[in-house]
Amino acid sequence: MGSALSSLWHHINPPVNPLISASMFAIGIFGNVAALVILEIRRRRNVRSGGTWHRSLFHILITSLVVTDLTGTCLVSPLVLVSYSRNLTLIGMRPKTCGLCSYFGASMTFFSLATMLLLFSTALERCFAIGYPYLYSRHVTKKCAYITILLVFLLCMIFCLLPFAGFGRYVQYCPGTWCFIDMNAVKPQNKAYAILYATFMLVLVVAIVVCNAFVVYQLYRMYQRRRRNGTVMSTMRSNSERKLLSMSEEVEHLTMMVVMTVIFIICTLPLVIRVYINYNGENDHPSDLIALRFISVNSIVDPWVFILLSPGVQHFCWTSVCQSTLIDQRGSVFKSSLAKENAKLELRFSLQAPLTQI
């Protein structure tokens, strides 16, 4: 189905069952709300215990990431459901101005870029916190987080509004419930806009991977240093326990960041690849639609990653594994000790039997 034709459709043909879209919308809303509830519960517990996690940049950036995903789901997904219910495409609902299609495309562009930039900001924050703790504690404050979030939204807003100024174009995709950047553009400025978007996303993916790799390297160095300095004075015990706890928290944060990054790569790279392929004139509209669906799934999966890999859940899982392993080890030790005792008793009885016969 050609993009040129689908961009003119006013009716969804053939009619499609909206069950999948409605289910994805419900899962996305529930996941993001649940993630925000978990963040708020953890923040309140941290305040009561006198901790500082609720004031950390990581908490602020992760919260903004979840709020961004929730906002994007609420502003975009209902249009798809309305389109299905009325059996009208986005252009068909506003045929004179194509305003809904432009709004949908701009929203998709804004939230996809904002999510990636916030994830990059979070990864960069971890880099400075782990790699340069002195500079981080001296110069990085909550104000930096709020300024970063504001700049991210401002940059994304400017970028997604460029098509309204003639640089780039939003078009409707089959089956008529999607609008996004024209990946099969003919005009040079529209091609340049699509390539600029894909390149920006690719650079962000590479930067996030580099940041996470740097954090892994720094945590490994910390582990090696503590392993070499294992024999410490008893007066330093409480301090080392606090450092060990801090390191375990960093590993938990890193685990969540790495999984989020992998999911972002899986959801983003298909679209980036399709833009570059279409730039060379090799159009494949079904593949374009698959790539668009991948990037839309991102905001649905992202909060569930946070829920399943939050530090509390990780701690519970590791504790359960360690306890079961310890019980198994104790059981095997108990069984081996019983076997030894039985062997000793059998040997004693075998030695005493000839004596009684005499």
- Dump pLDDT digits (tens) for 180-209: 888 888 888 998 999 999 999 999 999 998
- The pTM of the full predicted model, rounded to 2 decimals, is 0.76
- In whole numbers, what is the pLDDT of the chain averaged over residues? 75
Distance CA 111, CA 119 (A): 12
Mean pLDDT of 127-143: 83
- CA atoms within 13 A of residue 182's CA, in its CB half-sphere: 25
Q: Look at 240 and 83; give whichever has higher pLDDT.
A: 83
E strand intervals along the chain = 170-173, 178-181
Task: Tell me the percentage of the chain whose pLDDT exceeds 90.
Answer: 14
Distance CA 321, CA 119 (A): 30
pLDDT of residue 152: 94
**Residue 146 confidence (pLDDT) above 50:** yes
Distance CA 296, CA 112 (A): 8
Token pair 């930039």: residue: 117
**Within the chain, what is the greatest distance between any pair of CA atoms?**
116
Domain map of the chain by residue range?
Answer: 3-309, 321-358
Element (H, E) at 182: none
pLDDT of residue 52: 53
Model confidence band, residue 243 (pLDDT cutoffs 50, 70, 90): very low
pLDDT of residue 310: 64
Distance CA 223, CA 240 (A): 12
**Residue 293 confidence (pLDDT) above 70:** yes
Provide Rg for the chain, Cα atoms: 28
Task: Say if residues 212 and 122 touch (Cβ distance below 8 Å).
Answer: no
| Domain range 3-309, its CATH number among 3.30.70.20, 3.30.160.40, 3.90.1420.10, 1.20.1070.10 | 1.20.1070.10
Residue among 120, 43, 119, 112 at smallest CA distance from 268? 112
